[in-house]
């Protein structure tokens, strides 16, 4: 029997209900008014300054719930369970009509998003193949083409509910299309491992 093998797939973790409703509500109440920094992607997108868990008891609680998931996901990326720390966190407020341009996150290994409010279906996070990847130069792209995991150029993440979290490699390109719904608030973060060891050549990281 023929067999199709997915070579070198990219992991993406969806973790429903990581944050309880009480913590989600506290984050929205406390941090939404601090999201005053403009974003050059859209006039309808603002975010807080870069935060650390020590900046708020709420973020300490977030870190306690998120960090075990980082260890799970990190084992997929690097083949070993190890210590992880949240390097930076920030809250995004996307108002109606706003969007987030395609980007990835530098100087980190795992990135994540926790959804704090209801997300309109138009503003679900979209993940894309990196531009200039190892693809064929001539594409088969027309109305009758059926997109699948081996030929699609983008993937729209499932519709989240408040408290849900997603984790992905920091190099993965992603964006948020124009928001046709109400205010969308998320908590984003970057994480780093305690160390990486390549046959004795060890690099240690500190947040």
- Rounded Cα gap, residues 102 and 161, in angstroms: 23
Please state the CATH superfamily assignment of the domain spanning residues 13-131+146-195 in this structure.
q2cbj1_9rhob like domain (2.60.120.620)
Element (H, E) at 65: helix 57-78
pLDDT given for residue 56 in this prediction: 96
DSSP string, 1-57: -------SPPP-EEETT-S-HHHHHHHHHHHGGG--EEETTEEEEEE---B-GGG-H
**CB atoms closer than 10 angstroms to residue 150:** 8
- Rounded Cα gap, residues 73 and 185, in angstroms: 24
With a cut of 90, say whether residue 104 has pLDDT above it: yes
- Rounded Cα gap, residues 89 and 188, in angstroms: 6
54-57, Cβ contacts within 8 angstroms, sequence gap of 24 or more: 56/30
Q: Which of 121, 114, 111 is nearest to 164 (CA)?
A: 114
The 10s digit of each residue's pLDDT in 29-58 is: 999 889 998 887 899 999 999 999 999 999
> Which residues, in sequence order, are bridge partners of residue 190?
88, 111
The 10s digit of each residue's pLDDT in 114-165 is: 999 999 999 999 999 887 766 777 888 899 999 998 888 899 999 999 999 9
pLDDT given for residue 133 in this prediction: 65
Q: Which of 154, 206, 161 is nearest to 18 (CA)?
A: 161
């Amino acid at each position: 029997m023929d067999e199709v093998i997915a070579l070198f797939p990219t992991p993406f973790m969806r973790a429903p209900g990581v944050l309880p409703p009480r913590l989600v509500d506290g984050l929205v109440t406390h941090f939404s008014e601090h999201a005053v920094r403009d974003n050059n992607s859209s006039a309808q997108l603002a975010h807080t300054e870069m935060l650390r868990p020590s900046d708020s008891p709420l973020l300490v609680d977030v870190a306690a719930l998120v960090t075990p998931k980082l260890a799970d996901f990190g084992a997929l990326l690097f083949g070993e369970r190890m210590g992880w720390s949240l390097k930076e966190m920030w809250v995004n407020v996307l108002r109606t009509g706003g969007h987030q341009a395609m980007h990835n996150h530098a100087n980190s290994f795992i990135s994540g998003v926790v959804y704090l409010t209801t997300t309109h279906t138009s503003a679900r996070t979209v993940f894309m193949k990196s531009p200039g990847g190892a693809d064929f130069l001539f594409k088969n792209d027309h109305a009758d083409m059926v997109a699948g995991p081996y030929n699609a150029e983008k993937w729209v993440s499932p519709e989240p509910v408040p408290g849900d979290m997603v984790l992905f490699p920091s190099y993965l390109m992603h964006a948020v299309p124009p928001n046709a719904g109400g205010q969308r608030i998320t908590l984003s973060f970057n994480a780093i491992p305690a160390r990486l060891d390549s046959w004795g050549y060890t690099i240690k990281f500190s947040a």
